[in-house]
Amino acid sequence: MLLKIKPTAIRLNLLLIALLAGASAISQEIGDFQPEAAWDGNPDINGIWQAIGTAHWDLQDHEASAGLPEMGAIGSVPPGQGVVVGGEIPYQDWALEKKQENWAGRPIADPETKCYLPGVPRATYLPYPFQILQGTDKIMIVYGFAEANRTIHMNVENPEAPPLDTWMGRSYGNWEGNTLVVEAQGFLGEAWFDRAGNFASSALRVTERYTPISPDALLYEATIEDPTVFTRPWQIRMPLYRRLEPNARVVEYKCVEFSEEILYGHLMKKEE
Amino acid sequence: MKCRTIFKETIFTIGKMSSYFITALLCMFSAAVFAAKPHHITIALSNISEAISWYEEHLDCQAIPGRDDTVNCGNTEIEFFLGRTVGGSQGTGVDRIGFSVADLDAKMAELESVGVRGSGVRLVRFDDGALVREIPGLYKTAFITDPWGTKIELVQDEDLLGFHHIQLNSVDPSEALNFYSQVFGGERARLKGVLDGVTFDGIWVLASEYTDGRPGITQGRTIDHIGFEVASFDEVSMEMSRLGVEFRQEPAVPDNARSSSRQAFILGPDGVTISIVEPGWEGIEEELAAAEAQSTELYVIPRTPWGEPDIQGIWTADAAHGIPLQRGIDVAGTDELTPEEAAARRERGTLNSIWGYDREWRDTTLGYVTSAPSTQVAMVIDPPNGQLPETTAAYKELVANAPPRIPPQRARTPEDLGTYVRCITRGPVGMMMPSIYNNGLQILQSPGNVAIQKEMIHETRVISTEPREGFGDGLKTWLGDSHGRWEGDTLVVEVRNLNGRTSYLGSSPEMKLTQRFTRTGPNTLRYEFTVEDPAVWTEPWTGMFNFIKDDNQIELVEYACHEGNYGMTNTLSAARTIDAREAEESEYQE
């Protein structure tokens, strides 16, 4: 039985509540919204989107904590509710230790600190907008941070295995009803999932689902599989919001120069 | 394979075992013996005259008078044609060709020393690092790749010097060898009693089992096809049709053939294109006029499903690498280089650019770009003399008073090394320019937007083609704010809000850049860039070059430049080592 509630805002609120409660009514709920069609009849998800929340700090529930002392409250970590379905990331024992090592080594050990390409799914919920462009046989997602970019090859039968491992991986997609389903793999295994040190290996495989739930929101679900790191597949879920400013743009964010002191400071000759 | 036995068996099992049936037919066919032999190997590459010299110098082939595209290598000819290839021969139905030399160690030493000078030959080392391996009971063997991507096996077989064998890749080697034996009358035998093959008057056709799916088709790769000569073509064609081997191209005297010999094409096993020629075959004269006529045909630009000119795809500036920005004195009276001159120019440019890299990488790189180089004389098309306009007096003064450039070994910080070395950007003008590698460009369109992604460093601009509010004055970036519009079929992009932190040939932070992208053919994207900078140049100037469609790739290979920037660590660390050594020396002197 589908819920029939008209105003989008109310439904979105309900959805969020459902999400946070881990309720199973979500798939029924999103089936109700009919998005505008693109030229090919599939949902039109062209536009500039952004995740809102604190998933980029930590995918799991987290309390407020101190950051770099010289940054005061600006540098502190805001508290936030987790986006992991069920709350737990099912690490294998060794991997949990590694995650804790990552946590202890942050922020220096975090690839984001070094302005490295963020990987998938992290690129999606970095606190910056990204743009989806639906081409004729590919979809491109352009992110601002580190000029990250993905090409999603649509409707490819028997896709070839990724020829080499990369930071952003190789993505193949197709539409299942109103949902864009993307299979991404071929990752280097050096990217993190968040600033808390959650991570995967090069065996990572991410299945992403982008589903319009209102004219201005997509539900983003990513199933994360990596048999070398986790004991079972697990999932994150969050909405992505359309940036409604008429002049909204993905602004180029070349962060290399801000990483150089950390990476090369010990090799620099400073003016006395 | 014993034909007679199989034929007998087939009589009883006919209909059950179709492959045996075919073999039997082939055996019957071989009864009608006719003289056939391997006649030529046809290789596609970017520079015919260089290839002729290379095969003459290193593989003892002879130029043939009156035929400027063919060498005679003893038992067979190698025909070259100028063309874009989609890769080397390795992994196709014809993996490689083999030559036999009297002293393999000496030959490899010779090639290694030439490689050092950068002829482009690539030597393949075995797992243990050796260049030559002795195969017990057979001979010494070694592998190289010629400068254009053809894999060559060199062996030391005193019994058969010169052109030695054609090595096939096959999903079923035995079946493939039967094909060549039966269709062209060669003898199934074992080379040195070891290697299963077919021998034709001293040339061997050998086959290795290919287990990684199917071998690539030869057409379009460096070994485009192999050729056999038959004594009587009419007889052969009759036998062919009886065998169910279809002609891909019926026997005919090709346009511009140098002789009256007819040529036909068939498709052999494992995607091997085979040319069959009559005696007296002398190849085909390159028809330049036809190619030119084709290029001036009216081209209708495809549209996206939503009606915009479609410029999407993966493109490459490889062909443009080597075009100087300004017209050189040596080409003052020339409108266009010959393909040979263009190839030589690119090779010179490539060698200059990669001189600092290690030998193996350098050698590979020469063979990596397979598209024919551009024959364009210079990038600057306006001013029409191909020269950049006069610079301003203020700029000249600026240059005269500029502080000396800090060499890399003195670099104090990454900033001393420049934004390119730092993997930040080559700047809005520089980012599009061709270079020795990473020339890929991906364009993707959605209604009202064009994304332009550049492989080098990895940079993407999303250009709106509809009028919109731009960045405010307070926001400037390295690549600026791109405002696009369609003027007819041309995408015009005006770049504003540049942060001015990169310079192209001395351009100032006030530089204005306008880019124009026009698809002029199915595989050609014309790119024009106009630079206006009154602080530096007394008038605007425009450059142009073409991107060529690159359908070999489905996406650009991620160039994680900064992530792998070991060069930065190494350069700074070397500079600090020099500092420390000098400090020690000066202390000692005191």
Q: Which of B108, B88, B36 is nearest to B224 (CA)?
A: B88
Token pair 């689902």 in the structure block, residue: A209
CA A241, chain centre distance (Å): 13
Q: Do B575 and A142 touch (CB under 8 A)?
A: no
Residue B115 has pLDDT above 80, yes or no: no
Could you give the angle at the alpha carbon of B509 between the alpha carbons of B508 and B513, nearest 5°?
A: 85
H/E stretch holding B62 reads: strand B62-64
Domain limits, CATH 3.10.180.10, in chain B: 32-277
Taking CA–CA distances from B571, the nearest residue in chain A reads A267
Instruction: Give me the tens of pLDDT residue by residue for chain A, a chain 272 residues long.
Output: 333 333 343 344 444 444 444 444 455 456 679 999 999 999 999 999 999 999 999 999 999 999 888 889 999 999 999 999 999 999 999 999 999 999 999 999 999 999 999 999 999 999 999 999 999 999 999 998 999 999 999 999 988 888 899 999 999 999 999 999 999 999 999 999 999 999 999 999 999 999 999 999 999 999 999 999 999 999 999 999 999 999 999 999 999 999 999 999 999 997 75
Specify the pLDDT at position A79.
97
Token pair 């009883």 in the structure block, residue: B12
Q: Do B444 and A46 touch (CB under 8 A)?
A: no
Rounded-to-integer distance, Cα A170 and Cα A193, Å: 17
Residue B209 has pLDDT above 90, yes or no: yes
In this prediction, what percent of chain B has a pLDDT beyond 70? 85
Is B61 in the A-facing interface, judged by CB distances under 8 Å?
A: no
Look at strands A149-154 and A170-176 and give their pairing.
parallel
Ramachandran angles phi, psi of B44, nearest 5°: -95, 135
**Amino acid at the residue B160:** L
SS3 B428: helix
Specify the pLDDT at position B215.
85
When mean pLDDT is compared over A175-184, B7-16, B219-228, B338-347, the highest value belongs to A175-184
Q: What is the mean pLDDT of residues B528-545?
A: 97
Could you tell me which residue, B367 or A8, shows the higher pLDDT?
A: B367
SS3 B54: helix
Q: Which two tokens stand for residue A66?
A: 């101190």
Contact B529, B366 (CB under 8 A): no
SS3 B444: strand
Rounded-to-integer distance, Cα B484 and Cα B467, Å: 8
**Amino acid at the residue B326:** Q
Q: Which of B148, B64, B61 is nearest to B99 (CA)?
A: B61
Contact A180, A44 (CB under 8 A): no
Is A98 in the B-facing interface, judged by CB distances under 8 Å?
A: no
Average pLDDT value over all residues in chain B: 84
B203: Cβ contacts below 8 Å, ≥ 6 apart: B37, B38, B75, B76, B163, B164, B165, B166
Distances (CA, A) of A8 to A18, A98, A204, B38: 15, 42, 35, 74
Contact B575, B410 (CB under 8 A): yes
Specify the pLDDT at position B89.
82
Q: Which of B422, B340, B322 is nearest to B377 (CA)?
A: B322
For the stretch B432-464, pLDDT in tens is 999 888 999 999 999 999 999 999 999 999 999
Interface confidence, given as ipTM, is: 0.89
Specify the pLDDT at position B357.
62
Report the length, in residues, of chain A. 272
Q: Do A142 and B479 touch (CB under 8 A)?
A: no
Q: How many CB atoms lie within 10 A of CB B5?
A: 10
Q: What is the mean pLDDT of residues B418-441?
A: 94
Is B582 in the A-facing interface, judged by CB distances under 8 Å?
A: no
B153: Cβ contacts below 8 Å, ≥ 6 apart: B96, B97, B98, B99, B141, B142, B143, B164, B165, B167
Residue B290 has pLDDT above 50, yes or no: no
Residue B23 has pLDDT above 50, yes or no: no
Rounded-to-integer distance, Cα A178 and Cα A172, Å: 16
Q: Which two tokens stand for residue B275?
A: 């040319």
Interface of B with A in 384-443 (CB under 8 A): 412-414, 422-425, 442
Could you give the angle at the alpha carbon of B577 between the alpha carbons of B575 and B581, nearest 5°?
A: 120
Specify the pLDDT at position A2.
36
* B475, B563, B579 ranked by CB distance to A167: nearest: B563
Is B553 in the A-facing interface, judged by CB distances under 8 Å?
A: no
Any bridge partners for residue B198, and if so which?
Answer: B188, B205
Could you tell me which residue, A159 or B18, shows the higher pLDDT?
A: A159
For the stretch B195-204, pLDDT in tens is 999 998 889 9
Token pair 């009803």 in the structure block, residue: A177
Specify the pLDDT at position B283.
87
* B446, B468, B470 ranked by CB distance to A46: nearest: B446
Taking CA–CA distances from B453, the nearest residue in chain A reads A149
> A interface mutation test: which of B475, B481, B562 has the most A CBs within 10 A?
B562
Q: How confident is the model at residue B329 (pLDDT cuts 50, 70, 90)?
A: confident
A32: Cβ contacts below 8 Å, ≥ 6 apart: A2, A3, A4, A11
Distances (CA, A) of A155 to A42, A161, A163, A186: 12, 15, 19, 18
Is A260 in the B-facing interface, judged by CB distances under 8 Å?
A: yes
**Amino acid at the residue B558:** E
H/E stretch holding B20 reads: helix B18-31
Rounded-to-integer distance, Cα B526 and Cα B544, Å: 7
* B422, B481, B560 ranked by CB distance to A166: nearest: B560
B109: Cβ contacts below 8 Å, ≥ 6 apart: none
What is the number of alpha carbons within 13 Å of residue B471 lying toward its C-beta? 21
Residue B292 has pLDDT above 50, yes or no: no
Q: Which of A189, A193, A64, A171 is nearest to A125 (CA)?
A: A193
In the sheet that holds B223-230, the strands lie side by side as B62-64, B67-72, B77-82, B36-45, B223-230, B273-277, B263-267, B247-252
Residue B133 has pLDDT above 60, yes or no: yes
Q: Which of B395, B388, B399, B418 is nearest to B324 (CA)?
A: B388
Is B575 in the A-facing interface, judged by CB distances under 8 Å?
A: yes
Look at strands B223-230 and B273-277 and give their pairing.
parallel
Shortest Cα distance, chain B CAs vs residue A257, angstroms: 8
> A interface mutation test: which of B311, B406, B446, B561 has the most A CBs within 10 A?
B446
Q: How many CB atoms lie within 10 A of CB A64?
A: 12
* Dihedral angle of Cα B578, B581, B583, B584, to the nearest 10 degrees: 180
Specify the pLDDT at position B550.
86
Q: Do B449 and A153 touch (CB under 8 A)?
A: no
Rounded-to-integer distance, Cα B101 and Cα B140, Å: 10
A247: Cβ contacts below 8 Å, ≥ 6 apart: B468, B469, B470
Residue B516 has pLDDT above 50, yes or no: yes
Could you tell me which residue, B74 or B430, shows the higher pLDDT?
A: B430
* B451, B458, B569 ranked by CB distance to A264: nearest: B569
Interface of A with B in 37-76 (CB under 8 A): 38-40, 46
Specify the pLDDT at position B122.
73
Specify the pLDDT at position B297.
53
**Amino acid at the residue B141:** T
Q: Which two tokens stand for residue B17?
A: 């075992």
Could you tell me which residue, B111 or A100, shows the higher pLDDT?
A: A100
* Range in A90-104, A188-202, B233-247, B279-293 with the lowest mean pLDDT: B279-293
Q: What is the mean pLDDT of residues B97-122?
A: 79
Contact B514, B494 (CB under 8 A): yes
Ramachandran angles phi, psi of B22, nearest 5°: -65, -45
Q: How confident is the model at residue B218 (pLDDT cuts 50, 70, 90)?
A: confident
* Range in A96-105, A133-142, B17-26, B389-398 with the lowest mean pLDDT: B17-26
Which residues in chain A touch residue B308, judged by CB atoms under 8 angstroms apart?
none
For the stretch B175-186, pLDDT in tens is 999 888 888 888
Q: What is the mean pLDDT of residues B301-324?
A: 92
What is the topology classification, in CATH, of domain B32-277? 2,3-Dihydroxybiphenyl 1,2-Dioxygenase; domain 1 (3.10.180)
Is B477 in the A-facing interface, judged by CB distances under 8 Å?
A: yes
Interface of B with A in 296-325 (CB under 8 A): 304-306, 310, 312
Which residues in chain A touch residue B414, judged by CB atoms under 8 angstroms apart?
257, 260, 264, 268
* A39, A164, A267 ranked by CB distance to B447: nearest: A39
Domains defined along chain A, listed by start: 1-32 (no CATH), 36-265 (2.40.128.20)
Specify the pLDDT at position B361.
59
Any bridge partners for residue B225, and if so which?
Answer: B42
Average pLDDT value over all residues in chain A: 90
Could you give the angle at the alpha carbon of A62 between the alpha carbons of A72 and A9, nearest 5°?
A: 100
Could you tell me which residue, A73 or B322, shows the higher pLDDT?
A: A73
Task: Count each helix (H run) and each strand (E run) in chain B, helices first.
Answer: 13, 27
Q: What is the mean pLDDT of residues B208-234?
A: 84
Any bridge partners for residue B515, and if so which?
Answer: B493, B529
CA A153, chain centre distance (Å): 19
* Range in A124-133, B344-353, B420-429, B529-538 with the lowest mean pLDDT: B344-353
CA B189, chain centre distance (Å): 36
